[in-house]
Amino acid sequence: MIAAQTLAIARNTFREAVRDRVLYNLVAFAVILIASALLFGEISIGVEKTILINIGLSSISVFGLLIAIFLGIGLVHKEIDKRSLYSLLSKPIHRWQFVVGKFLGLNLTLLVNTLFMSMGLWGALYYLTRSFQPEDVYIWTAIYFILLELFLVTAVCLFFSCFSTPILSAIFTFLIYVVGSAASDVRDFGTLTKNPLLESLTTAIYYLLPNFSDFSVAGAVSHGLPVGSHLILLNTAYAVCYASMLVIAAVWIFSKRDLK
């Protein structure tokens, strides 16, 4: 019963998201950008396929990030603003179900969008090479890692949207993404100073921030190099643990929030 209710919220979140025209524009733009990689490869030497895969994967990642942020920031705020949340919570539904349902719904939207953008990438790749090579299968690993990254971004966005305005949530999420992408550099900076206090502080920040750089394997797969199953498992576990932490925090904040 509880699971069915939560899934119903997720389904409605997905339905609401796919009605948004901005979403289609972003996906269409990403597919056009991927196709344009065919032209970009023409002005370089010997790396047409590498460039196509890199542009394709980066487009999926960047546009996925934009979709996650634009849809994620309004997840809670829109429901409060339209007062639809009150009618929903007047039913026998827990607040945590609302938060988890929204989270799952947004991730379903991102999964479908990513699949559409991936089709654009595979189509462009086939147009360029006229055949697929066995090592091309590793591109799916990179796409899966992008999905894990978006999974984390959605969790960050949901967390902020539970207590902040949409604009501030977007800014906070983007900043977390930027700093999280350079998390290892922050730790390295502390190590370089050789100051034990600063080193401990930067190490703490490193473990506190979501580490987005570990999901970047586009460079390897664009050269046909495999990604180890151990890394796939570890990255999956990391994304699940970290996103769970944020969703739990979001649920806690939302449960304490005075909605009157």
Partner 1 sequence: MAPTLGLLLAAWGASALVQMSVDREMARYRESPEILWISSGKVLRTLSLGHQSLLADVYWTRTVQYYGSRLRDHKTDFSLLGPLLDITVTLDPQLTVAYYFGSIFLSEKPPRGAGDPKHAIALLQHGIVANPDEWRLWHHLGFLYYWELRDYVRAAAAYQAGAKNPKARDWMKVMAAAITEKGGNLQTSLFLWSRIYDSTEDPTIRKNAAGHIDGIKAQIDMEAIEKRAQQFQEQNGRWPASIAEMVSHGLLPGVPVDAAGFPYRLKPDGTAALNPASTVTLDYNHSPAPPRAPAP
At 241, list the tokens.
């643990």
Please report how close the Cβ of residue 162 comes to partner 1 at its closest, in angstroms.
25
Distance of alpha carbon 76 from alpha carbon 100, whole angstroms: 11
The region of 5-13, 42-50, 71-79, 84-92 touching partner 1 under the rule CB under 8 A is 42-50
Q: Is the dihedral of CA 10, 12, 14, 16 positive or negative?
A: negative
52 torsion bin: left (phi>0), alpha (psi -120 to 50), beta (else): alpha
Does 135 interact with partner 1 (rule: CB under 8 A)?
Answer: no
Cβ neighbors of 81 (< 8 A, separation 6 or more) are none
CA separation (Å) from 199 to 24, 163, 185, 189? 45, 32, 12, 8
The region of 5-13, 22-30, 181-189, 246-254 touching partner 1 under the rule CB under 8 A is 181-189
Please report how close the Cβ of residue 44 comes to partner 1 at its closest, in angstroms.
4
The residue from 138, 215, 242, 254 that contacts partner 1 (CB under 8 A) is 215
Distance of alpha carbon 184 from alpha carbon 203, whole angstroms: 9
In the DSSP assignment, the letter for residue 228 is -
The residue from 63, 159, 212, 242 that contacts partner 1 (CB under 8 A) is 212
Does 138 interact with partner 1 (rule: CB under 8 A)?
Answer: no
Please, which residue, 10 or 209, has the CB nearer to partner 1?
209
Does 77 interact with partner 1 (rule: CB under 8 A)?
Answer: no
Does 227 interact with partner 1 (rule: CB under 8 A)?
Answer: no
Distance of alpha carbon 235 from alpha carbon 52, whole angstroms: 25
The residue from 127, 185, 226, 233 that contacts partner 1 (CB under 8 A) is 185
Residues that bind partner 1 (CB under 8 A): 40, 43-47, 50-51, 54-55, 57-58, 61-62, 177-178, 181-182, 185, 212-213, 215-216, 218-220, 222-223, 225
